[in-house]
Amino acid sequence: MARYLGALAQEIDLLAEAPWAGNVQIDTIFFGGGTPSLLAAEELAAVLGRLRGSFRLGPAPEVTVECNPESVAREKLDAYRQAGVNRISVGVQSLDDAILEGLGRLHSAHQARRAYDATREAGFDNVSIDLMYGLPGLEVDRWRQGVETILNWGPEHLSAYGLTLDETSRWGAQGVAGLPPEETVVAQYWALAQAAAAHGYEHYEISNYARPGFRARHNLVYWRAAEYLAAGPGGCGFVGDVRYVNAKPVARYCTTLEARRLPIESFERLTARQRLAERLILGLRTSDGIPAEWLRTRAQGEHALERRLQDWQATGLILAEDDRVHLSESGFLLSDTLFVDLL
């Protein structure tokens, strides 16, 4: 851990030495997974201090830490808040202990509730919960009960992701028994959307729900195709028209930085067409949508895409309002089909 944190500090310093760094204002900071909550409070405070000393921060930055329930307690959360963290995301995933065990999670449903309570006891008033659906053995009624329980806790934000199997993962390579059929996954999606709406949550992005005023500011940066810096193994950043990815193996990441070189393993310069496609896809992931002109520009001269868009509007999957276009709830569910065409 000490070697890793030393390399991370070096990376922040090197980024701050870039000729454009003086023009950067950081408005959000996100400590993302693996398990950032393994950091001791003084270690996390040191990283934040390094950022404050190296970059100009906005007047009220959103500072989020992802936490696994088994790795946080009231004392650590108190210290995180003192260090400047003002938003916590708790990786609950499920309230079914059998499913948690099958996922390889290290916490129980009881520990998840204890972790949520600890965030409130520590004074956090912006808490997000992560859930997963489409899981092996997850029935619709059981999912609905879990969603209602979580919503009754009263988090400000909820993220819910359908299970996707990567070919290189253990389940993707070897297969897994008990995956629900598509109609069950669709029923789980609608159960969540309806329950969240009934509890006053805004479905503002395909996988995200928030109480008014509590959208995830950091994630909105991605969905608006804005710029963001990344630090850490496997981190992915976007500056100007360049997307870059850091080395993922921790040893290689550390060795590179100990030689005072940025650990960028690959990068690509996006073309104007790629930028437009990404603005369309990322913007259409949100309830705010995109300017209608962007979509007209992309579809111009491509008759198959024009017909697809006309069909989606005719069936209510795409809605046009005040010269902006956004997907309906049903459109969110089928969005990948359209996004492939937009690319």
- Give the integer Cα–Cα distance in Å for 306 and 304: 5
How far is CA 21 from each of CA 14, 18, 53, 163, 240, rounded to the nearest angstrom?
10, 5, 12, 38, 12
pLDDT the model gives residue 176: 75
Name the one residue in this structure whose structure tokens are 């000393």: 53
Strand partners of residue 274: none
pLDDT the model gives residue 106: 87
Name the one residue in this structure whose structure tokens are 């990441």: 253
Residues 292, 325 contacting (CB under 8 angstroms): yes
- Give the integer Cα–Cα distance in Å for 70 and 94: 14
Q: What domains can be seen in the chain, in order of their start residue?
A: 25-215 (3.20.20.70), 279-342 (1.10.10)
pLDDT the model gives residue 168: 74
pLDDT the model gives residue 21: 94
pLDDT the model gives residue 174: 66
Residues 199, 151 contacting (CB under 8 angstroms): yes
pLDDT the model gives residue 146: 96
Q: Which of 101, 113, 205 is nearest to 152 (CA)?
A: 113
Q: What is the mean pLDDT of each run of 10 residues along the chain (343 residues)?
A: 97 96 96 90 96 95 96 94 97 91 88 96 97 93 96 97 80 73 94 97 97 97 95 96 96 98 97 91 94 89 87 92 92 88 81
- Give the integer Cα–Cα distance in Å for 69 and 98: 16
Q: Tell whether pTM > 0.85.
A: yes
Provide the token pair at 196: 């969240």
pLDDT the model gives residue 173: 59
Residues 6+ apart with CB under 8 A from 90: 67, 68, 69, 112, 115, 116, 119, 127, 128, 129, 130
